[in-house]
Amino acid sequence: MKLKKIADNLSGVKDIDGKVNFEITGIACDSKAVKPGYLFAALKGSKANGVDFIDEAIDRGATCILLDADNKVEFMRGDTFIYAKDARLAFSEVCRAYFGDVSAKMRLAAVTGTNGKTTITYLIESMFKSANQGIGVIGTVNYRFGSRSIPALNTTPGVLDLYSLLSNMLKEKIKACVMEVSSHSLEQGRVETLEFDAAIFTNLTREHLDFHKNMRDYLKAKLKLFQKIKKKGFAIINIDDPVAPKIIEKVKSEGKAQIITYGIDNKSDVSAGNIELSREGLKFKIFFSTSLEEYSSSESAAGGRVEKCIEIKSSLIGRHNVYNILAAIAAGLTLGMSLKDIKKGIESLESLPGRLEKIDCGQDFSVYVDYAHTEDGLEKVLRSLRELKPARLISVFGCGGNRDRGKRPIMGRISTELSDFVVITSDNPRNEEPVDIINEIIKGINKGKDNYAVEPDRFIAIKKALGEARRGDIVLLAGKGHETYQIFKDTTLPFDDREAARKLLREKNSNSVRADTVAKRASPVENHL
């Protein structure tokens, strides 16, 4: 592609030094990825400044350098330099010019909020599969489409990787994608030049305050997504969340999207009732407002009338998953799916990685692994498990290092109030000492509470919890979910809560069988028979 064609599509260009009438063979924002003929975007990051790597990029063959105008200096070498008011935004525009306007060619759904994003993307994916339609998914667990599954480095990838993924989906004739959109990605402009058919808001609770200064800035970042809805697209909003009015106000001020609300406690367009909770899953009724009839009969949606009520049975457990299912159903309608396929998709999703994932090795108590790593996430999961009426609820959790420290004591209090017994351990301590993190967790535990133990070694902590469990109990391993590693100061080690639990449960079961065998051999009655 000619550099001139790219440059003509950029906003905020302050100056161009050099010629533009030549071919660009590729684009990169990592100097090590540069090949001959590439455009290199020298972006400022949290740890490094791309300007420091311009020489390396030129050595590798970069023929054009994009950078902030504030960094303009006299470069002694290099073909062409483009100086932009905001190089990060300009690079997003470079990607759109280079790969094409992918969001104009696809149905895109975005999910944002503190909790529930991953589950909703899996539910929507399952709906599309039930309808035999291709769909791509970009999120925390991985990025997948067709037969590909790519490990996720970030919940929402950088703008170059994001455009590359969407472009590859189109090449494979996949014209729909659902993605998790994090507050980091919104703040850093990773989805700046994309537009969405549907934007889903789940909830907003304390998280990422190591990155955002406060909850106001955290919400401000989330609101940016609702500027990026296509004309006549949809904003799907959890009406039960306290910040829902601010989301609705933002959508109305943009004047492009139609609003669909969902919830349990307040009047909404998509609501749930007659909720039955059990260890086997969920059963409830979903009610639709008459306003949804026009969406379902429009060309952009499923066609035909929406029934006023349908019954859903799901293998997912917990009241919080009722909200996730409601959000996914609303999104399915706006993306043109029939209620038949929506219902089939929801009911065929049996589980998903690290989201109340059941670990069953034949033991007489229940074990679940969940990604809950915020105070709200932990509270919701513990309350959901409490509603299943276990004999005792035993939990294992820790807090990540180099992250929001303010949530640690809160999670300590929540865990000991809602669990019968807690083992406080390590999560991903990163550059902090595990014991220091644990001590901050303990500070929040109410005086007089002694229903907890401390074990910094996560494997031993899980062993302690499983060893404590008896018939009818529930054990929750919280915080790491689908993760298959544990990050320490100087190393990252393989570690998977699910595999650890399976190994320990098999050992426990094996020991129980041996103990029973020995007891039977020692029994005079048994020997006599």
Pairing of strands 474-478, 366-370: parallel
CB atoms under 10 Å from CB of 149, counted, come to 12
Sorted by where each begins, the domain ranges of the chain are 3-98, 102-348, 357-512
Per residue in 26-55, pLDDT tens? Answer: 999 999 999 999 999 999 987 889 999 999
Indicate the Cα dihedral angle 214, 219, 222, 227, nearest 10°.
-130
Tell me what pLDDT residue 299 has. 37
Q: How far apart are CA 365 and CA 508, in angstroms?
A: 12
Per the structure block, which two tokens stand in for 215?
Answer: 């909850």
The DSSP result for 303-318, as a single string, is: SSPPPSEEEEEES--S
DSSP state of 446: P
Query: Could you give phi then psi for residue 72, rounded to 5 degrees?
Result: -65, 125
Q: How far apart are CA 175 and CA 190, in angstroms?
A: 20
Distance of CA 277 to the CA centre of its chain: 24
DSSP state of 301: S
DSSP state of 489: S
Per residue in 294-307, pLDDT tens? Answer: 554 333 343 444 55
Q: Is 349 left (phi over 0), alpha (psi -120 to 50) or beta?
A: beta
**Strand positions, DSSP E, 247-290:** 258-263, 270-278, 281-288
Per the structure block, which two tokens stand in for 460?
Answer: 């031993």
Q: How far apart are CA 427 and CA 397, in angstroms?
A: 7
Tracing tokens 């129980």 back to the chain, one arrives at 512
Burial label for 331, CB within 10 Å (0-12, 13-18, 19+), is: buried
Weakly modelled stretches of the chain, pLDDT under 70: 75-76, 206, 208-212, 291, 293-307, 512-529
CB atoms under 10 Å from CB of 268, counted, come to 22
Helix/strand/coil (H/E/C) assignment for every residue in 33-77: HCCCCEEEEECECCCCEHHHHHHHHHHCCCCEEEEEHHHCCCCCC
Residue ranges of alpha helices (H) inside 267-419 are 292-297, 319-334, 339-348, 375-386, 407-418
Tell me what pLDDT residue 77 has. 84
Q: How far apart are CA 248 and CA 251, in angstroms?
A: 5
CB atoms under 10 Å from CB of 476, counted, come to 28
What pTM was computed for the model?
A: 0.91
CA distances from residue 334 to 31, 53, 104, 126, 339 in whole angstroms, order as listed: 41, 45, 16, 16, 11
Tell me what pLDDT residue 83 has. 96
Tell me what pLDDT residue 526 has. 40
State the CATH class of domain 357-512. Answer: alpha beta
Per the structure block, which two tokens stand in for 256?
Answer: 């492009």
- Helix 339-348 to helix 117-130 angle (10° resolution) is 120
Q: How far apart are CA 374 and CA 206, in angstroms?
A: 7
Per residue in 463-477, pLDDT tens? Answer: 999 999 999 999 999
Tell me what pLDDT residue 156 has. 95
Which amino acid, 67?
Answer: L
Per the structure block, which two tokens stand in for 403?
Answer: 């992250």
Under CATH, domain 3-98 is a member of which superfamily?
A: MurE/MurF, N-terminal domain (3.40.1390.10)
SS3 content of the chain, % helix, strand, coil (to 5): 40, 25, 40
Tracing tokens 């949809």 back to the chain, one arrives at 234
Write down the architecture of domain 102-348 according to CATH: 3-Layer(aba) Sandwich (3.40)
